[in-house]
Structure 1
Amino acid sequence: MANLVKSKILDLRTKFFDDVQVAHGQWRSGQIDKKAYKAKTEKFLRTLVKQIVKRADQYDLKDLAELKIHESFLKIELNIKELYKNVGSPTATGDGHSNSAAAAERFGWTYSGSSTSPYHYERAIRIREELSKHTREIEILSKKYGKHYLKYEAYKEGVLAMKDCGLAVDNPRQYLLNVPYRKGGTSKKDLWKAFFPGISKAQFMQMPVDPGNTRQNIISNIPSDKYGG
């Protein structure tokens, strides 16, 4: 019975992600705006939760611990998707990963669709907190119920993504010099070149963190004898 319920829940989750992917395509193509895309995603999530509860009632599933774990996995996946949503986009700066932009924002970089607010940096902080919360939920329930969810790839990806957010927030210079991990096991080096073209590595190493101003002001504040011209 438990396997049957798991199978039905996985089917629901698959449909949810398919629906979200379609909505994401509509947003990227300009068919809907960002607000409508967010509203659709939230509606799909509410529907998913209702369907999971319905299945639990249908099969008289008393122990909802596994459903709670599945919910945590779902939220981890959604947060990771948010970080990777622009990877592969021809218009994205760097590798398109949100945390790359977050690290660059700490040196004053802004993208064309933002105000002066460090949008990606704030997202990295928020997602790090959410991933910390949901991975911790899985750890607690796994220990309590003797499950082995810590071996699941989704949990491992959540931990790695949380650390990735932390590196972008706490050590942005190191992040842009050498991103240690991306899904699939790849790493990225020297991403700073994409965000700050026309400057040398020595210049980049002298750039102050969180200058609160533009790239031009950052460079003008670096003594010329420190960056070798």
Structure 2
Amino acid sequence: MREKFNAFPQFKFWLNKGKQHFNRIPILIWLNIITIVILSLLSIYAKIKSKGAGIESLFSDPFYVGMFYLGWFTSISEIMWCVAIAISLFSAILLPPANRRFKIFLFVSALIMLLLFFDDRFRLTLIMCAFFGTCKLVKLSVYTLYGVVLIFYAWAFRSTIRHTPYIPLLLSFCLFGFSSAIDITPISSRGIHAMLEDGTKLVGLINLTIYFWWICQHEIKKNIVQKQ
């Protein structure tokens, strides 16, 4: 087994790097495990009991009062967006002017998250689909634009991000990309489609939120120590 890992030095490097970064934020390890286990158990249950439509309902908008669990996971995702945005903006305002580069990083991060949140919450992409008619083309164009924005964001703040445990941030970007790809992929099973699209986005949001919570509180604590 060790020889196989040695044959892929890049994989081993990123595996070790991921372990180091996640070990710095232990709570994130448990949150990821618990979320994935819950989603996996629900997927198995839906497969055995043919409850794919019920799984989809967990990620649906809560418009139908006859099903009390309708849209629960969607609501949790929206809360995670709001928490990450609030933490970033509050910390950017709280930090002193000496942390100018980090403050700009947090402000820009919050603006990008606000853009993604508004699209997710108010269905801006779907509204454009209704106007232009070609939904798949609209989604592909919008998701490509978001991808370019995230790549430019990562490049512009690479020096700042490099000094943080950035693997959770990178993981969240990958999961958002995967979720977007599933959104434009025709999958017949409603339960599988909902789990792959919205389930992966939920895991990505957990990583994103905890990442910004950790780096913000770490930066604030560092400034308090310096003042003392």
TM-score (norm 1): 0.33
Higher RCO, Cα 8 Å, sep 6+? 2
Rg larger for:
1
TM-score (norm 2): 0.33
